[in-house]
Chains A and B, each alone.
Chain A
Amino acid sequence: MSEQIMTVRSLKRREAMAAYAFILPTLLGFLVFVVGPMLASFALSLFDWNLLTPPEYVGLANWEKLFSDARVGGIYVNTLRLSLMVVFSNMTFGLLFAILLDSKLPVLIRNFFRISYFFPYVVSAVAVSLIWTFLFNRDLGPLNYYLGLLGVDSRINWLNSSQWSPLAIVIADVWKNVGFYILVFLGGMQAISRDFYEAAEVDGANTWQKFRNITLPLLSPTILFLLVISIIGALQIFEQPQILTSGGPGDATRTIVLYIYEQGFKFFDMGYAATLAISLFAIILVLTIIQFRLSRRWVFYQ
């Protein structure tokens, strides 16, 4: 009897040992590359450090700088405005094209559309931004040329005017990402039971009524999911403004992550860069919580 208990115990101990061995690589990496840097950010925000001279403790000076830095507020406003434009455009075009694709199409043609819409999503943001740098060229770019043929002012200064450059970034971003939105929406639509539509047809509902009263409410979990991940993603846009406009003109397209990069790796102000990063982290955390709270009110599950 006691021997049996011993075996069970030692078996359990062996299982636990194996488990620790199994999680060790992830745990170790997690501590060194995630938890450590996360805590270090907070510590770093209390220091002034340019990597060359030893770090100097400055208390809350970086935080005071953050709140008195006239550029930060503007950059946050620009980042937020850009994010909302990016998310709104992606969601709208994504939903529109998902609806168009959710009709009876020959398999071959549907696949062709799926592939052509989705492919830019797997191309790096760097390559996409480089391509669009040329497409947006004011004098020789194809975009202005074809706009000219359509009778639009054909000398739009896409990348160097504070009026147009945010729109340029939105266009490049939608071109790259909209395929992802289309396919996620399409997945959501195809999960909706056909019975609802048939019942609505019996009641004489038209296409718009079916969309408004069946598709949209039942798609709300998908919409919320996309909204959460895209706003969080959009707040961290970096490649597009860095490559297309370098944040300019002025701060018109300077996103907060681009500003963090510049403070940290151009001006080597590590403490201030860490402080900015924490502020972004806080904002993203708050947004996530707000969105989950709101979701309870307007998300319908099938």
Chain B
Amino acid sequence: MTTLTETRVDEMSFTSPKPKRRIPWGSIVSAILLSLGAVVMIAPFMWIIQAAFGETARAFVLPPRWLPANPSLENFESVFEQVPYGMFMFNSVKIAVIVTLGQLITCSTAAYAFARLEFRGKNVLFMLLISALMIPGQVTLVPLFIVMRQLGLYNTHAALILPALINPFGVFLLRQFFMTIPKDLEDAARVDGANVFTIYWRIILPLSGPILTTLAILTFVTMWNSYFLPLIMINDPELQVLTVGLTLLRGQYGAGALGPIAAALAMAIVPVLVVFLMLQKYIIKSIVSTGIKG
């Protein structure tokens, strides 16, 4: 084997003429296209940020600016004057955190039961839960709105949190992972007298860090970006979340007021960017591997 390879190398280096240095047109074109694509992706953010830090009256000028002429914070000030922006932010964080933590519990307990425990109706219940994945969220919004009104939860955060606590996809995702954990570990613990809850809490969860992280990321991103439900469920601006809050600002100024809306957008996007840059490996992997479509 070794001799064969050596002979070949010898042949190559002695008999074949030196390859001509060719211009790698393919790589050049692909580098240009990739860079052009990156400019298209990044430029809109840059433009919004310069508008945020510019003067309100001169936000919309031609040719487009890429750095503010006279940097100022007046756009930010006027955002806080017009809408309870701090509350929007607080509400969004609060709801996303509660739902994420809540789903980690509800999904993992249900997933553990479906993966490992024996009980009557298990398969039927699981199939029923999974078939719910075929129901598009938007379809049940009208009756969900009515249910929340009947429960007296209209215009409360509970109306956003409670329905989000169940996630059939999350249950499915975790169940698939739990089934790959060797059963011997549990059997050994059971012999030592561990009950179901101890096994779930002390063995299954500690072994499931990566998949729980994936679920947490997916849930947080989904909740942070959710718009339709808060739009119909929340009426009080003080209780509103950031997504709907941004559109309220547009109502205050009219669609043409770039400056303040840019400031609000910058404040909404920059924290997301920071978190994204820190966790990009996990975030990209979580979203791409599960195929969550926003």
Contacts and interface: CB of A to CB of B under 8 A. Distances in A.
A229 B291 contact: yes
A30 B142 contact: no
Contacts of B268: 124, 127
Instruction: Name the residue among A12, A27, A114, A126 with the largest chain B CB count within 10 angstroms.
Output: A126
A61 interface: no
Contacts of A101: 34
A38 interface: yes
Contact of B144 (A33, A132, A134): A33
A236 B27 CA distance: 39
B85 interface: no
4 tightest Cβ-Cβ pairs between the two chains A and B: A29-B166, A37-B143, A40-B143, A19-B117
Interface string A127-141: 100111111010010
A142 B165 contact: no
Interface stretch (A162-170, A175-183, A210-218): A175-183
A137 B163 CA distance: 38
Contacts of A40: 143, 146-147
Interface in A84-132: 96-97, 100-101, 103, 112-127, 130-132
A140 B60 contact: yes
Given A176-B294, A264-B145, 16 more contacts: A18-B197, A19-B119, A22-B112, A26-B129, A26-B166, A37-B144, A41-B142, A103-B30, A124-B224, A126-B225, A127-B246, A184-B291, A229-B293, A239-B228, A265-B231, A284-B136
Contacts of B64: 142, 145-146
Interface of B: 26-27, 30, 33-34, 37-38, 40-45, 47-48, 51, 60-64, 105-107, 109-110, 112-114, 117-120, 122, 125, 128-129, 132, 134-147, 149, 162-163, 165-166, 168, 171, 195-197, 200, 221, 224-225, 227-228, 231-232, 242-244, 246-247, 250, 255-256, 258, 261-262, 265, 268-269, 272-273, 276-277, 280, 283-284, 287-289, 291, 293-294
B136 A30 contact: no
A238 B138 contact: yes
B118 A19 contact: yes
Nearest to A20: B119
Contacts of A127: 243, 246, 265, 268-269
Contacts of B284: 114, 118, 183
Contacts of A35: 128, 132
A30 B168 contact: yes
A41 B143 contact: yes
Contacts of B119: 15-16, 19-20
A262 B42 CA distance: 34
Instruction: Name the residue among B41, B51, B132, B255 with the largest chain A CB count within 10 angstroms.
Output: B41
A270 interface: yes
Interface stretch (A65-73, A193-201, A271-279): A271-279
A183 B280 contact: no
Instruction: Name the residue among A23, A177, A239, A280 with the largest chain B CB count within 10 angstroms.
Output: A23
Contact of A135 (B38, B47, B146, B225): B47
Nearest to A15: B117
Contacts, number: 264
B9 to A, nearest CB: 18
Interface in A150-189: 175-177, 179-180, 183-184, 187
Interface SS of chain A: helix, strand, loop or mixed?
Answer: helix
A140 B61 contact: yes
B269 A44 contact: no
Contacts of A82: none
A122 B283 contact: yes
Contact of A277 (B41, B61, B139, B277): B139
24 contacts: A14-B196, A16-B119, A20-B119, A23-B109, A26-B110, A26-B168, A26-B171, A40-B146, A117-B41, A119-B276, A122-B272, A124-B225, A126-B225, A130-B246, A134-B48, A145-B64, A175-B41, A179-B41, A187-B289, A226-B291, A238-B228, A239-B228, A265-B145, A274-B143
